[in-house]
Amino acid sequence: MSYKADLITMQVIRYGLEAIADDMGYNLMRMGRTTIVKEIMDINCGILDDKGGILSQAHLCPLMMFSLPTTCENMLLEIKEYEQGDVIICNDPYLGGQHLLDVQFFSPVFIRDELVAFVANIAHHLDMGGAVPGGVAGGMTEIFQEGLRIPFVKLYRNGKEDRQIFNMIANNIRIPEKTMDDFRAQAATTFVGVKRVTELIEKYGLDVFKQSTKMLMEYSEKKMRRFIDSLPDGDYIGVDFLDDDGIVDEPLTVKVNIHIKGDTMTVGFDGTSPQAKGNVNSPWACTKGGVYYTMVGIVDPHMAINSGAFRPILVESEKGLITNPLPPAGVTARSQTMTKIVEAMLKAMSHVVPDRVVAGSHGQACTNSFMGIHPETKKRFSYIEIQGGGAGARPNKDGPDGQDLHLGRFMNTPVESAELENPVMIERYEFIPDSGGPGKFRGGLSLRRDIRFLTDVIWARYSDRQRFAPQGLFGGKEGTKGSLILNPGTDREKRQKSKGVDNLKAGDLLSIRLPGSGGYGPPWERDPEMVRWDVLNGKVSYKSCKEDYGVVLKDNFEIDWEKTKTLRAKLKGKDSSTKKS
């Protein structure tokens, strides 16, 4: 049967490529040895064309959206010869990567000896060496402290491991058996992906495949251009702040300047802080990813995500800012800056499309790594926790509770998995009442997770939003700030810094309390029955019910409608006078 490149074939090939990318991701998850891969799913997979452009990505971690194509484009400049069965790896943030723990794998796809595509994936690993176990410590000052920095290297040739490269990497990391098996899972995923992409191309024919993918990129480009063209021309600004860089105890500014003209958009970062001494700097591919992610969410989360979609958007940043750092700046905690780029983008775009943006989320990545010696096996263990906070309220819905950061969309680490594999006990795991900002639509609640350690551990972490609360929109109120509390409720209680490295003793309890999120619209416009439901379900306190929402409940928790009407009129008048002043 012969095929032709038309709109129907284009869509069939689109969904075929998406299915391959998704299957690669879930196969990688099933083969993974570590919780960061098999539970949290800090991974992504994609298919790229022969120039490194995105054809399709899995519906997994958007944070990695633009690392694969940027790295692939640099790889094509560096490596000129490819063979069937090659697997090239790289984790260098200055070549398009994220941070050193995120290792990217690329395999070429050949049709009759012609290089036509690449299959790729990226995964976060337990450890890549460096000064601190687990590698996720904030407060390091150079990339050299953060771990093993791998340039473009062929880890597999003709489908076989290069033992010298494997041994070199294994000798520089703390738990090589798990990391090397995750490497093998990544490689196996690419081999399966190559086979399936080859079958897809052979089914439709190379010419039809090339024409259809070209049409697909043009289709996404037109969709983005039509949307931008529908917006009023002008300049729009959004600003957000990081608490600190882990070294210097001063806030850092992320400022986005959006210029819309016709069907094009330029996003710049004038007014953003210079690159930091600490390792919150965002590599260039990560910065672009934050901008592109935001626009995809605003335009259509279900659109075909490929390189064509981003052609109408020009991202610019002066070198030497936290949004475009120069080596050897540290970048491990770059997600703190990436999330602020998204928050600032949403603030700027709220002036243009208020019905397509959300209020401020917890806006940070709370990533913790614990490493020690297991008291039973006497072997080293490494345990990573990435917890979610509140997601911002939407124009017509409450924000989701306990969700990961915008750019991550990670799963949580189940209590059973954490306790089964590591010497810890999870003593509390719950939503935090009143953490979602009051509004016509309430911000999502954040999470509290209390971890008891049964052995001494080194605790490395980076997080944020302990100084600047998540913003509300259009009259919605702020969400709560986050905190890390050691041994709460005891005479040894101590608030911990959001970024750094510490030693914890056996018996210590760490309480991880994530930031909440902002509300959307004035709280006194919220349906009183929804407020009552929140109180009954422990999401909103009786105090907030009355003071923020203006809803008065009787002793039996029924609504006192007369008192509620009176109180809400006062709140509305107070809000109006505040705006005038």
**pLDDT, tens digit (0-9, with 9 covering 90-100), for 522-580:** 999 999 999 999 999 999 999 999 999 999 999 999 999 999 999 999 999 887 666 65
CA 265 vs CA 171, 315, 460: distances in Å: 47, 8, 39
Q: With 70 as the cut, is the pLDDT of residue 458 above it? A: yes
In the chain, % of residues over pLDDT 90: 94
Phi, psi of 264 (to 5 degrees): -125, 155
DSSP-derived pairing of the beta strands 457-462 and 447-453:
unpaired
Can you tell me the distance from the alpha carbon of 527 to that of 235, in angstroms, rounded to the nearest whole number?
36
Q: How confident is the model at residue 66 (pLDDT cuts 50, 70, 90)?
A: confident
Q: With 80 as the cut, is the pLDDT of residue 581 above it? A: no
Question: Do residues 82 and 104 lie in contact, with contact meaning Cβ atoms separated by under 8 Å?
Answer: no
What is residue 282's three-state secondary structure? coil
Q: What is the DSSP letter of 429?
A: E
The pLDDT assigned to 407 comes to: 86
**pLDDT, tens digit (0-9, with 9 covering 90-100), for 146-155:** 999 999 999 9
Question: Do residues 294 and 348 lie in contact, with contact meaning Cβ atoms separated by under 8 Å?
Answer: no
The pLDDT assigned to 580 comes to: 58
Q: How confident is the model at residue 65 (pLDDT cuts 50, 70, 90)?
A: confident
Can you tell me the distance from the alpha carbon of 90 to that of 43, in angstroms, rounded to the nearest whole number?
15
Q: With 60 as the cut, is the pLDDT of residue 507 above it? A: yes
What is residue 457's three-state secondary structure? strand
In the chain, % of residues over pLDDT 70: 99
Dihedral angle computed from the Cα positions of residues 66, 158, 202 and 10, in that order, rounded to the nearest 10 degrees: 0
Q: How confident is the model at residue 1 (pLDDT cuts 50, 70, 90)?
A: confident
DSSP H helices in 230-352: 284-299, 335-349
Q: With 70 as the cut, is the pLDDT of residue 272 above it? A: yes
Q: How confident is the model at residue 64 (pLDDT cuts 50, 70, 90)?
A: confident
**pLDDT, tens digit (0-9, with 9 covering 90-100), for 380-400:** 999 999 988 999 999 999 999
What is residue 47's three-state secondary structure? strand
The pLDDT assigned to 375 comes to: 96
Mean pLDDT value across the chain: 96
| Residues ≥6 apart with Cβ < 8 Å to 8 | none
CA 112 vs CA 206, 375, 439: distances in Å: 10, 56, 60
**pLDDT, tens digit (0-9, with 9 covering 90-100), for 37-49:** 999 999 999 999 9
Question: Do residues 179 and 371 lie in contact, with contact meaning Cβ atoms separated by under 8 Å?
Answer: no
Question: How long, in residues, is the chain?
Answer: 581
Q: What are the residues facing 43 on neighbouring strands?
A: 123
Please state whether 85 falls in left (phi above 0), alpha (psi between -120 and 50) or beta: left
Q: What is the mean pLDDT of residues 514-520?
A: 98
Question: Do residues 392 and 386 lie in contact, with contact meaning Cβ atoms separated by under 8 Å?
Answer: no
Torsion sign across C-alpha atoms 24, 29, 33, 34: positive
| Residues ≥6 apart with Cβ < 8 Å to 272 | 253, 254, 255, 317, 321, 322, 323
The pLDDT assigned to 405 comes to: 87
Tell me, rounded to whole angstroms, the distance of Cα 204 from its chain centroid. Answer: 35
Q: What is the mean pLDDT of residues 490-503?
A: 97
Of the candidates 517, 141, 521, the residue with the CA atom closest to the CA atom of residue 329: 141
The pLDDT assigned to 70 comes to: 96
The pLDDT assigned to 573 comes to: 86
Q: How confident is the model at residue 491 (pLDDT cuts 50, 70, 90)?
A: very high
The pLDDT assigned to 2 comes to: 86
Can you tell me the distance from the alpha carbon of 32 to that of 34, in angstroms, rounded to the nearest whole number?
6
Can you tell me the distance from the alpha carbon of 80 to that of 391, in angstroms, rounded to the nearest whole number?
45
Q: With 90 as the cut, is the pLDDT of residue 233 above it? A: yes
